[in-house]
Amino acid sequence: MAQPRTRRPARPREEVYAAARAAIAEHGLARLTMAGLGEQLGMSAGHLLYYFGSKDQLLLETLRWSEDLLGEQRSRELARHDVPVPERLTRYLELYLPEGPGDPRWALWIEVWSRSPGAAELRQGQLDIEAPWQDDLTALLDEGRTTGLLPAALPVPDRATQLRALLDGLAVPLAIGLPRTSREAALAQAASAARALLGL
């Protein structure tokens, strides 16, 4: 008598996200197939689609997972009031910028940005995932203003938005590996721009 087939347990979502992040960073979302990812994880493509619905949703959830991991570290470090605001600002810049060409976290961001114009769900998801970066920077700059380090009249939300836009502009060439880009140079440029924007 044939033994009944046992159902293979579902992989933890974190394992799916980690595998998807690595695959997207290496090949891009266009070349990622649910069947290929499922085979890598020992799951069916149908199982993945059941949980995520589409490749776009898998991309968004993988980005959210990736950012949540870093967000926990960022929140801890920025909340250390025993560390001066300029040092915490430098740490914010370091956490924001890519580690170098092919940074998996930034590969996800670039994929989301490239697909967002035609997908309202991705645009809204992107805003939701970006919000903690904006909120943490705004809180840090506001602390600098209230303690007298930064000018009292500094328009904090505007400066936080401008600084993040500048960081995005420095990050993309570094993440895609354009010639004559380096993390060290990007960090130096970000620090210089931050001082100018904030009146430090």
Per-residue pLDDT of 71-119, as tens digits, reads 999 999 999 999 999 999 999 999 999 999 989 899 889 988 988 888 8
Out of 6-20, 39-53, 125-139, pick the least confident.
6-20
Which CATH code is given to the segment(s) 54-198?
1.10.357.10
Structure tokens at 171: 């990050």
- Residues 6 or more apart whose CB falls under 8 angstroms from that of 84 comprise none
More confident residue, 35 or 99: 99
More confident residue, 98 or 200: 98
pTM (predicted TM-score): 0.85
User: Distance between CA atoms of 144 and 86, rounded to whole angstroms?
Assistant: 8
Confidence of residue 135 (pLDDT cuts 50, 70, 90): very high
Asked if residue 8 lies in contact with residue 40, where contact means CB atoms within 8 angstroms, the answer is no
Res 192 pLDDT > 90: yes
For residue 6, how far is the Cα from the chain centroid? 38
Mean pLDDT of the chain: 87
Q: What distance separates the 2 farthest-apart alpha carbons in the chain?
A: 81
What pLDDT, on a 0 to 100 scale, did the predictor assign at position 48? 80
**Dihedral sign computed on CA atoms, order 27, 20, 125, 173:** negative
What pLDDT, on a 0 to 100 scale, did the predictor assign at position 1? 46
As a whole number, mean pLDDT of residues 135-141 equals 96
What pLDDT, on a 0 to 100 scale, did the predictor assign at position 11? 59
